[in-house]
Chains A and B, each alone.
Chain A
Amino acid sequence: MNNPRILEIRRGVLEKNDLLAQNLRAHFNEAGVMVINLVSSPGAGKTAFLEATLRHLRENGLRPAALVGDLATDNDAQRLARSGAPVRQIVTGGNCHLEADMISTHLADWQLDLTNLDYLFIENVGNLVCPASYDLGEHLRVVLLSVTEGEDKPLKYPTLFNSADVTIITKIDIAAAVEFDRAAATAAIHAVRPGMIILETSAKTGEGMQNWLEYLNTCRQTYPLQPITT
């Protein structure tokens, strides 16, 4: 018997990841925890921003935790643990991005009770290309852009900026010194993702952090999270 010439498949290459991510999101919804995926280029200030965020949230009586992806070290996790929030490292061993199965594996090992959390932050590997393709089950994808990076970066990495929900401009305290062009940055961000919310922050001085926390809180109220009733 001859085989057919064309064998139809029609399957998404990342369907396994996407399905796992959907299951994770359902699991997060059930536990009532809002999950935020932080992406940026290396050196944009993700760790400093996250450290300040964890500290501020805890000061406000909220319960955040963080999963931190890093190529090779646990330096970031050690820094973040100073905030007092539960933190766990995912060493990717050279992998340039996080995938949904890494999240589910580490959460299972961690034995963290998600129902006792308000927010779970996932700090992705510093990379503006690869993380764009992988849904981690997050509710909110946040891209960080520091004032030192060049205002046209969104135009160079449109796929990732287009996939994000909000842009955080970091290191705003040195904006004047590096002649950051706010209008150019805004135009570039809105070219690749019309209407995206842009928040300016400084982890160092605390400027803009309150706005960010309020934004997070608004998102948390809006998302269809269903806390388990006892």
Chain B
Amino acid sequence: MHELSIAYHLVEIAAQAAQSAHVKQVDALHLRLGALSGVVKEALLFSYEIATAGTVLEGSRLVIEEIPVALHCPACAVTSVLDTIQVFRCPICGQPSNDIRQGRELEVVSLEIADEQPTYS
């Protein structure tokens, strides 16, 4: 299981971005997770709490958008979304294809920032 190490990587990236933007508290981290990323959603969610402890992301939610594989078929000239990662064939004509256009994503998309009271000094 390498999801804990993945969780630490994503927290590092997010914490860096939060710091540069002078963010004190994060509500949620949005992540795009491809079906072929090699990362298991449940294991990542479990690891997230551990990885965020003591960081600006502590207590935040991890919101995962699952990205299915999209396969391009040269014969049909169509890119189709697959509902499996076990058969790489065009769902229209049945031809095998290796032209994967989507599904390897493992990307930090954005942070949802907690509302803060305006500060006056």
Contact = CB atoms under 8 A, between A and B. Distances in A.
A159 B34 CA distance: 11
Contacts of B1: 96, 129-130
B107 A159 contact: no
Interface residue SS majority, chain A: mixed
Given A133-B2, A194-B98, A195-B98, A9 B38 contact: no
B86 A5 contact: no
Given A9-B17, A9-B110, A2 B116 contact: yes
A1 interface: yes
Contacts of B119: 1
A75 to B, nearest CB: 23
B75 interface: no
A97 B107 CA distance: 20
Interface in A86-120: 95-97
B9 A158 contact: no
Contact of B37 (A15, A133, A193): A133
Contacts of B14: 9
A3 interface: yes
A158 B6 CA distance: 20
A155 interface: yes
A134 to B, nearest CB: 8
A176 interface: no
A130 B38 contact: yes
B55 interface: no
By size class, the interface of chain A is 35 or more
A192 B112 contact: no
Nearest to B114: A3
22 contacts: A1-B118, A3-B113, A3-B116, A6-B113, A7-B18, A7-B23, A7-B111, A8-B109, A9-B109, A9-B111, A13-B106, A129-B2, A129-B38, A133-B6, A133-B39, A133-B106, A158-B36, A158-B85, A159-B37, A191-B86, A192-B88, A193-B88
Given A6-B110, A7-B17, A192-B87, 19 more contacts: A3-B113, A7-B18, A9-B14, A9-B17, A10-B108, A13-B9, A13-B106, A96-B1, A97-B2, A130-B2, A133-B2, A133-B39, A133-B106, A158-B86, A159-B37, A192-B85, A193-B98, A194-B96, A195-B98
